[in-house]
Structure 1
């Protein structure tokens, strides 16, 4: 199986509009970050998208991706769902509704933002989704067991997802002891890290991530959901503890 980072940035993306910091002006492609999303490809070449933000169309084109079998949504914030309308070409090509897996709360938000996708009489050019409500217990789809990992993003619950011995978690500021049990001794853990130092009310910062790395002991840990405040990729990646890395758009991991 493979996990490809389609986007590793925060809700504003990097570069940030109007910003002239060294990260936003960097010519290194690893400092350009679309909104956070990944594509998981199974051994049978089934495609699982996690989150569908405003950069979805460009992400698919740049990575030469041309189909999705299912989408998993972590939560309802716009940088994770507002690209769903751009799934239309894939839906039209397949002739089938796109399956979306998410919590009941997130599903209700999707219905509220894209009511035309769920209308009894849909406009011919509208997208069409099949909502599958999940809760915090493993489920099977495409012949693969997927384990949700419930984390807190300020005051709302967000689902991370675990496949085999790899877990992807974005937009987290707290993980309970119960949920940490799912994350022990992974081959790969992907974890959000918005910046290096100043505490954030809804996201982990670097000291939080280092503490979790030491506690959970994954073989490798990749940081995602990275803001322009973190610093230049080529500088900061070398300063991380051994086994920790900054993810970047286009990075692919086999597991």
Structure 2
């Protein structure tokens, strides 16, 4: 079970997809639905479209284009948002997210969503979930032009939010992004090993990790919150 020194943490930065929301929607959309839509539009075989998309994803993996709906709409000549709405019934929060967010709110910590998701995708997910009512600030990295994989993002984000890295926790399901946060100087990180409810768990190394927020909620409640400015 992940153990975190909550009394030293006054800001919590949270990823969205796979961390607060079930990643199953995104997996189905990008891995299955988009190749299907491409096959319908082009008349090519589904197998060829799967292979084409794997190559296209690999070209921009981790870069802002990888997450950019405008980029994919232009590249594929597809209405991406319309295609997303066809699967929006799959958008759902993790079962343990609301209790976790409620515990953070009760502890009076500053809670910020920091997602690489495109603003339109973020809006769709806010429309379908309770995220907006449980988080203080919602940020898409597209407003900074770089992703959480980039040190430039962390520099801009720190300037924008004025958080103290030494008293900040960052939660994400990506090894690469957790590593980038740690490289920047975020003192506390937490990896989520089960982002997709329909897929096997991932390995997270070099970071405390969990597959169930319920395992750490009591420690948030028990650990008296004292902002670092007070000691």
TM-score by length of 2: 0.33
Looking at secondary structure, tell me which structure has more helix per residue: 2
TM-score by length of 1: 0.30
Task: Report 1 or 2 for greater relative contact order, CA contacts < 8 Å, sequence distance ≥ 6.
Answer: 2
Looking at secondary structure, tell me which structure has more strand per residue: 1
